[in-house]
Chain A
Amino acid sequence: MSIVATIALVVSSTLIYSTPLIFTALGGTFSERGGVVNVGLEGIMVMGAFSSVVFNLSFSQQLGVWTPWIGCFVGGMIGLIFSLLHAVATIHLRADHIISGTVINLMAPALSVFLIKVLYGKGQTDNISESFGYFNFPILARIPVLGPIFFKNTSSVAYVAIVIAILSWCVLYKTKFGLRLRSVGENPQAADTLGINVLGMKYAGVLISGFLGGVGGAVFAQSISVNFSASTIAGQGFIAMAAMIFGKWNPLGAMGAALFFGFAQCLSIISAQLPLINRIPNELLQSAPYLLTILVLVVFFSKARGPKANGQVYVKSK
Chain B
Amino acid sequence: MTLKKELRKTVAVSLLSVVFGFILGAVIMLVFGYDPIAGYTSMIRSSLGTTRTIGETVSQATPLILTALGFSVANSAGFFNIGLSGQALCGWVASVWVALAFNSLPAIVLIPLAIFVGALAGAFAAAIPGVLRAYFGTSEVIVTIMLNYIFLYLSTYIVHNSMAKSMLSSKDSTIQVGSHASLRISALSDWTMNSSINGGIIIACIALFLMWFVMKKTTLGFEIRSVGLNPFASDYAGISSKRTIIVSMILSGALAGLAGVVQGLGTYQNFFVQGGSLSIGFDGMAVSLLGAGSAVGIFFSAILFSILKVGGLGMPLDAGVPFELVNIVIASIIFFVGVNYLIRLLLTRKKRREIVAQVDSQSREDGQNKQEGGIL
Q: Do A and B come from the same complex? A: yes
Contacts of B139 in A (CB 8 A): 245, 297
Question: Is B137 an interface residue when CB atoms closer than 8 A count as contact?
Answer: yes
A111/B328 contact (C-beta < 8 A), A98-B80, A100-B338, A103-B338 known: yes
Question: Is A4 an interface residue when CB atoms closer than 8 A count as contact?
Answer: no
Q: Tell me how far the C-beta of A40 lies from the nearest C-beta in chain B, rounded to whole angstroms.
A: 11
Question: Is A3 an interface residue when CB atoms closer than 8 A count as contact?
Answer: no
Give the interface centre of B149, B286, B342 by most chain A CB atoms within 10 Å.
Answer: B149
Identify which of residues 94-152 in chain B touch chain A, using a CB-to-CB cut-off of 8 Å: 132, 136-139, 141-143, 145-147, 149-150, 152
Q: Mark B260-298, 1 if CB is under 8 A from A, else 0.
A: 000000000000000110000010011001000000000
Interface size on A, residues (CB 8 A): 42
Q: Which among B6-14, B53-61, B329-337 touches the partner chain?
A: B329-337
Identify which of residues 288-310 in chain B touch chain A, using a CB-to-CB cut-off of 8 Å: 289
Identify which of residues 291-310 in chain A touch chain B, using a CB-to-CB cut-off of 8 Å: 291, 293-294, 297-298, 302-303
| Interface residue tally on B, bucketed by range | 35 or more
Identify which of residues 129-161 in chain A touch chain B, using a CB-to-CB cut-off of 8 Å: none
Question: Is B156 an interface residue when CB atoms closer than 8 A count as contact?
Answer: yes
Q: Mark B148-190, 1 if CB is under 8 A from A, else 0.
A: 0110111011001100000000000000000000000000000
- On whether the beta carbons of A99 and B275 are closer than 8 Å, the reply is no
- On whether the beta carbons of A113 and B149 are closer than 8 Å, the reply is no
Of the residues B147, B324, B327, contact of A290 by C-beta under 8 Å: B147
A interface residues (Cβ-Cβ under 8 A, vs B): 39, 85, 89, 93-96, 98-100, 102-103, 105-107, 109-111, 113-114, 117-118, 231, 234-235, 238, 241-242, 245, 281, 283-284, 286-287, 290-291, 293-294, 297-298, 302-303
8 closest A-B pairs (Cβ-Cβ)? A110-B327, A283-B157, A114-B324, A106-B331, A302-B136, A107-B331, A287-B153, A93-B339
B interface residues (Cβ-Cβ under 8 A, vs A): 28, 32, 80, 82, 132, 136-139, 141-143, 145-147, 149-150, 152-154, 156-157, 160-161, 275-276, 282, 285-286, 289, 322, 324-328, 330-332, 334-335, 337-342
Further 20 A-B residue pairs, CB within 8 A, beyond A93-B342, A110-B330, A286-B153: A94-B341, A98-B141, A99-B334, A100-B339, A102-B82, A102-B334, A103-B338, A106-B327, A107-B327, A107-B332, A110-B325, A114-B324, A284-B157, A290-B146, A293-B146, A294-B138, A294-B142, A302-B136, A302-B137, A303-B137
